[in-house]
Amino acid sequence: MKFKFYYFLLIIYTLFTSCSNEDDIFDLNTRFYSDVHKSASARDLLGTWAIFNIEFNGKFSPVPVNYQDCGRDYLVFLENGIYKEYVYQNSDCTYISNTLNWSLENGVIILSNQLNQSEELAVTKLTNNELVFKTRFDVDSDGNLDILKAFLKPYTPIEIDLISDTFARNQAIEYKNILSYTWDVYTGNQEFIAYEIYRSSGTNCSKSNAILIETILDVNTAIFTDLLPPNVERLCYFLRIKIKDNVLGESDLQTLDTYTLEATPVNLNVPQVINNTIHLNWEKSEMPYFLYYEISYSNFAPNISGFGEQNIDVIKITDKNVTSFIDQNPPYLEKPYYKINVYDIFGNKTYDSYDNYTVTREVDYKRDEIFNMNSVLSYAINPNKPIIYFFGYESNESNAIKIHRFNYETNKTEAISDISPNTYTNLPIETFTSNYGEEIFLENGGELQVYNANTLKFKYNLKPNTIGSIHDFMFTTSGFWTFTDSNHIYTYSRNNGNLTLINKKPHFTGFQPNNNYSIFEIKNNQLLVGHKNESNSILYNINSNGFLSEVKTVAINISENEKRNANYNAAANFIINFNEKQLFSTNNFSALASFNQPNFASGVSIDGQNIYGSNNNPNWSVNDDGQQKKEAIIYNRNTQQIQNFMTKGYPHIIFENYKGEIVSISSGMRRENLKNNINNKADIFLEIIR
């Protein structure tokens, strides 16, 4: 099968479509080979030629220039046996090309393709200035071959810049997030000098402030990757093509905003917990613009948002070759999610979740200090032991509501209540010691559930039969059980699981909601009853038989509620309203000096001289933008001086224990309070501040 060995014959044959010549095949071949220049030299053939004239049946016709700005179509014989031809397609000088193999044998040029198809050109004349050959071509499309004679001269093509417009961002998938550019290879006939890459940076990047960053001398290298760009928001590149004695052209400025690049993630391997440390390791980043690895932890899984979500940075590692880290100070958080992000020099970071990468791992770890509750509804402090009782929801699959006895010296939960209340209570649990031993009391539906304080085994319910709704209760130093409801204060005696009413007295005439009629026992067998919405409180005496007598109304507002916002200090004889930062003397019931800090007090020293708290506002955000600090504040009432102590967690409740130690009930993550459950993860623990 014959093939068309050069495209331009498809165009110029139209010059002769009105002519015909009927030859049989024998006569055609005889005429084709009749005057071959058998001594033609391949060396003389090398170079670039263009057809200026065509002869057919003795008729000469000039070959026109179709696009003046582009010049003639041309063909090239190369030393390596490669034949090329170029035919311009439009005034923009875009072209089609054809590449074949060539050889010269006895004056006949043989053109062939990879399918072993071939055509012959019979050379009749070859000098330095002229090439004449014959070719067989069906000029009139009658199915018979005709002989054409082409007259060629050496030709220097007009160098057309067909490269600059091809300069563009590398679209190969592996270069998606790399500053890489490609272009078409220069195939012109001039001596190639270089490709030059220029770069400009900044918001106003332009060619005028661009600098040369790469010179490529290999004509066949048509790719550039910028591995050392500046860390700016915008980069611009352009290509300049240089040939001998000339600049062929240069591309338009290619602008790229670096924030559009995506950092490449690395896989985080399964962490190991060894003693009290967490060992992390990961794959090495191959990202060319690597800046650092960032290790962080969170209380939420990646791509899951929720109230209280927090992401805490642990360390930044700037050495790409470092692929491991030991967290020797793991978070005070049950089963934290550890994550690795990779940052590039442009400030881009990897995502928190991928389909084909694992960048986050939940670590099965919990510090011994953290007790097994994710929500603490109330607590009671043992005044003589390193024991605190917590009432709340357990952080296990059952999420049961229980009482825990926790030893904060051994960090052990020593006992868990064997039953759960069937109703919710606003009153905090209490611990009292009587002739029945140390017990835990939990108000539940108008009754008191009684537990053994050591074992937390349920004993029985104490029911004050004359009371519908218990607002507050306490066990007095004189041995009586005292209750309030919305109308009265009551005293009872107890015989194991039975309460017997001794006396009751009315308190406030105006009804106040919210179960906040509170009782405080002060000195000299006196009881003080108040409500946060009442500006005054009522003072009662209780005699040795448990009978009450109203003494007077005193100008003390008690802001106590289920959050224990008020406290009586027996050593210094005052009642403190923590929220209002106000103290009242229980000697003469006058207001004492207020205090400015801590902004959110929660405890008082045993001697009444120091006020404990923090400046963490419960209304602040508990997400990443929260302003809370891991800091305890102690205010000395005598010196009016403030001391600040760094803490391991965020302080919520601070108290002085029986040893004189300052203890904080803290959370490892930001919380509004101890009650709020954030993603079912425990993070509450006790720490000794001083």
Segment 517-538 mean pLDDT = 93
Residue 598: cis peptide before it, omega within 30 degrees of 0: yes
The answer, yes or no, to whether residue 517 has pLDDT greater than 50, is yes
Of the chain, the percentage scoring pLDDT greater than 70 comes to 95
CA distance 386 to 337: 32
User: Please, is 234 exposed, middle or buried when counting C-beta atoms within 10 Å of its C-beta (0-12, 13-18, 19+)?
Assistant: middle
The answer, yes or no, to whether residue 22 has pLDDT greater than 60, is no
Please write the tens of the pLDDT for every residue from 631-683: 999 999 999 999 999 999 999 999 999 999 999 999 999 999 999 999 999 99
Region of 689 (left: φ > 0; alpha: ψ -120 to 50; beta: rest) is alpha
Segment 458-482 mean pLDDT = 94
Count Cβ neighbours within 10 Å for each residue of 387-421 and write b for 16 or more, e otherwise.
Answer: bbbbbbbbbeeeeebbbbbbbbeeeeeebebeeeb
Instruction: Please give the structure tokens belonging to residue 265.
Output: 């993630």
Please write the tens of the pLDDT for every residue from 342-399: 999 999 999 999 999 999 999 999 999 999 999 999 999 999 999 999 999 998 877 7
Segment 307-312 mean pLDDT = 94
The answer, yes or no, to whether residue 232 has pLDDT greater than 50, is yes
The model's pTM is: 0.78
CA distance 88 to 63: 14
Of the chain, the percentage scoring pLDDT greater than 90 comes to 80
Provide the pLDDT for residue 563. Answer: 59
The answer, yes or no, to whether residue 21 has pLDDT greater than 70, is no
Give the DSSP letter string of 179-196. -EEE-PPP--SSPEEEEE
Please write the tens of the pLDDT for every residue from 243-255: 998 999 999 999 9
CA distance 546 to 187: 112
Provide the pLDDT for residue 1. Answer: 34
Region of 303 (left: φ > 0; alpha: ψ -120 to 50; beta: rest) is left
Residues 328/333/337/341 CA torsion (nearest 10 deg)? -50
CA distance 309 to 597: 29
Cβ contacts of 650 within 8 Å, gap of 6 or more: 614, 616, 628, 629, 630, 666, 667, 668, 669, 670, 671
- Residue 190: pLDDT band (50, 70, 90) is confident
Provide the pLDDT for residue 374. Answer: 93
- Residue 516: pLDDT band (50, 70, 90) is confident
Count, residues in the chain: 690
Place of tokens 């690895």: 293
- Residue 562: pLDDT band (50, 70, 90) is low
Provide the pLDDT for residue 18. Answer: 44
Please write the tens of the pLDDT for every residue from 131-176: 999 999 887 777 788 899 999 999 988 888 889 999 999 999 999 9
Domains identified in the chain and CATH numbers:
9-154 (2.40.128.280), 164-260 (2.60.40.10), 272-362 (2.60.40.10), 368-455 (no CATH), 463-560 (2.40.10), 595-690 (no CATH)
Provide the pLDDT for residue 390. Answer: 96
Strands across the sheet containing 447-452:
430-434, 437-444, 447-452, 458-462
Instruction: Return the minimum-mean-pLDDT range out of 20-34, 57-71, 261-275, 304-318.
Output: 20-34
